[in-house]
Chains A and B, each alone.
With several copies, the nearest count.
Chain A
Amino acid sequence: MSAFTSLIVRDMRVAVRVGGGALMGALFFLIVVVMMPFAIGPDMRLLARIGPAILWLGALLATLLALDRLFATDHDDGSLDLLMMGTMPLELAVAAKGIAHWLTTALPLVIISPVLGLMLNVEWDAMGWVALTLLAGTPALTFIGLIGAALSVALRRGGLLLAVLVLPLTIPVLIFGVAAANAAIIGPAPFGPPFTILCALSLGALVLGPFAAAAALRHGLE
C-alpha cells in the first residue's frame, strides 16, 4: 500500500475499533437530534424550522469530539516523530489523517441525516438538500479543525488558546450551511449562493488546512 492510503486505512481502523466508528457516530447523532424536542418542546413547526441548525450543530459537535485528539494521540505515543520521518511530505500525511477523520466521523452523519430530518419533521424531499449541504460543508469543519488540532499539539501549553482562534473560523461554515439548508426547505432565498460559498469554504479549507497544520507541527519541534 502507498504511504498515503496506508495512513488513511490505519487511522480509520483505529477510529472504528476505539470509537465504534460509523455506527457510533450514527447513534450519537440520533441521540443529539432526539434530545432537541426535550429542550425546545414538542412544537413541531418550530422543530422543522430549526431542524437544519440542529443537524449542523450535531455535525459540528461530532467533529469536535474526536478532533482535538487527532494529533495528540500520535504525539503521545511517539507516532508523530515517525510520521515526520516518512518519505512522504508531512502535508500529505496531515491531509491523510484529515480524510480518515472525515470518513469516520462526518460521512456517517451525512448519510443518516435524512432519516433524522424526518424526526424533526423536515419534508423528505427537502432533506436531500440538507444532506447535500452537510456533504459539502463538513470537510471545511474537519480541515479547519485540523489546524486547531495541530496547534494544540505544537504548543503543549495554551495550545487550546490557539484552538480558540481557529474554532471561530467554523462559524461562517455553520452560517452558510444552515442558510443553504433553510433556503432549500423554506425558501424564499435561493439555494445557490450560500451553497456555492459553502463549497468554496470547503475547498479553501482542504487546501489551506494541511499546509497550516503541517507548518504548525514542524514549528512545534522546538
Chain B
Amino acid sequence: MAVIDLANPTRFLTLVNRVLPWLAAATLLAFAFGLVRAMHAPDDYQQGATVKIMFLHVPAAWLGMVGWSLMTLAALGTLVWRHPLADVAGKAAAPIGAAFTFICLITGSLWGRPTWGTYWVWDARLTSVLVLFLLYLGMLAIYWTAEDPGRGSRAAAILALVGAVNIPIIKFSVEWWNTLHQPASIIRLGGSAIDPSILVPLLIMTGAFTLLFFTLHLAAMRNEILRRRVRSLRLMQAQELRA
C-alpha cells in the first residue's frame, strides 16, 4: 500500500502542475467576461437589482451539488477499485463543496428577504439543501477525527454514497412538492424560460464558477497528495529506526 501511495500519484502530480496555471488563467478570464456581462444585465421588472444575486446563487447551488456528486464518484473509486487518487479527490472536494453550499444558503436567504419577505422558509428545496450542508459537515467531521487517512476515506466514501440520495431530492424537490422556490427554468424540456439578456451572463458566470471549482479542487488534491507523502515518509523513517 505504502508503495502505491508514493508511486501512482506522481504522474498525476506532474500533470496537475502543468494544467493548473492554464486553468487558473481561464478562470480569471471567464470571471472578467462574466462580471462585465452581469453588470450590464437588465434588472428584473419585479425583482429589481436583487436579481443580480442570481449570478452568485445559482452557480453556488449547482456547484454544491456537483461537489457531492463528485464525492460519490470518488467513493465508488475508493470502495470498488481502491484507487488512492479517488480518496484524495473525495477528500479535496468536501470543503469546497461545503463552501459553495454555504454560499448558496446565504445568498438564497438574502434573496428570500426581498422576494418572499423572509430569510428562511422550511420548504422542500431549502430544507434539502440545508441537509446537504449538514452532510458536508459530517463528512468534514470524519476527516477531522480519522486517525489514519485510509480508514477515514473509506468511511467517508460510504457516507458519500448514502448521502447521494439527497442530490436528486434537491434537484427535483421543486417539481415533487409545490414549493415557494423557483422551479427549474434554465435547464428544462422545451427551452429555457429566462430572457437571454439574463440567461447568457448567468451561464457565463456558472461556467466561471465551475472553472474556479475545479481549479481549487485540483490544487487541494495536490496538497493532499503531498501531505500524505510526508506522512508515509515519516512512518518509513520510524520503521528504519526499528529495523
Contacts and interface: CB of A to CB of B under 8 A. Distances in A.
Interface of A: 17, 19-20, 23-24, 27, 30-31, 34, 37-38, 41-42, 147, 151, 154-157, 161, 164-165, 167-169, 171-172, 175, 208, 212, 215-216, 219-220, 222
A165 B146 contact: no
B131 A168 contact: yes
A164 B141 CA distance: 8
B147 A156 contact: yes
A20 B141 CA distance: 8
Nearest to A43: B122
B97 to A, nearest CB: 14
B116 to A, nearest CB: 12
B154 A219 contact: yes
Interface size class of B (residues with CB under 8 A): 20 to 34
Contacts of A17: 145, 147
Contact of B161 (A38, A157, A164, A212): A212
A216 B153 CA distance: 11
Given A38-B122, A168-B131, A171-B127, A23 B152 contact: no
Contact of A151 (B127, B134, B155): B155
Interface of B is mostly: helix
B158 A219 contact: yes
Interface in B154-168: 154-155, 157-159, 161-163, 165
B150 to A, nearest CB: 7
B135 interface: yes
B79 interface: yes
A40 to B, nearest CB: 10
B158 A155 contact: no
Contacts of B141: 20, 23-24, 27, 161, 164-165
